[in-house]
Amino acid sequence: MSATASLSTSSPRGATAHLADTLKAGHVYRREDLARLSTAVDRHLRELVSMGKLQKLAQGIYHAPKQSKFGLLAPADEDVVKAFLRDNDFLVFSPSSYNMVGLGTTQLYNQTLVYNHRRHGIFRLGNRQFDFRMKPRFPKKLSLEFLFVDLLNNLEELAEDRDVVLTQARNKLPSFDRARLQAAVDSYGNMATRKRLREWIDG
């Protein structure tokens, strides 16, 4: 069911109704979360999905849709990723965020990256596709220093003129707080990025 549809007016009965009453609109659930509340969870889940009370995002992952005046609201990316990974330690962002650094990049990307410690690969969850990448370290939230370093890490993947971006990056270097930038390089930079920045600073 699409996020612009309306909730079904069908009313669940009996045990299915009891399970439906526990659902909180907008929340993402794993099957095991709901299995504790049902003696026939798979049948009840199928019934709730057919009634529009739940949407199946992936195997064992469900969303209780929330209605707005514009239709059903999609689940938050962070809630979907948390349920998929069974983990709170991840960073969700789009490569479009690199445009915030001020290097003249302008591309908008229909891509969602998930830096994490558990899964690697591209997975479709609901109507969204997520690019999961295992990383040894990543921040809790985005910063300009992290985005600067991560942009250089992923330069070959971007739809930008590589030489122009590198020139802009080198010119931008003095605008950063040296200590914060060095900390980001040490924590998140790959070998090529560390070498490049060391040459720029020493040069």
**Each residue's pLDDT expressed in tens, for the chain with a length of 203 residues:** 454 444 444 445 677 888 999 999 999 999 999 998 888 999 999 999 999 999 999 999 999 999 888 888 999 999 999 999 999 999 999 999 999 999 999 999 999 999 999 999 999 999 999 999 999 999 999 999 999 999 999 999 999 999 999 999 999 999 999 999 999 999 999 999 999 999 998 87
How would you label 13-29 residue by residue, b for 16+ Cβ within 10 Å and e otherwise? eebbeebbeebeeebbb
Distance (Å, whole) CA 184 – CA 105:
20
> What predicted TM-score, i.e. pTM, was given to this entire model?
0.88
Q: Which of 95, 99, 93, 98 is nearest to 116 (CA)?
A: 93
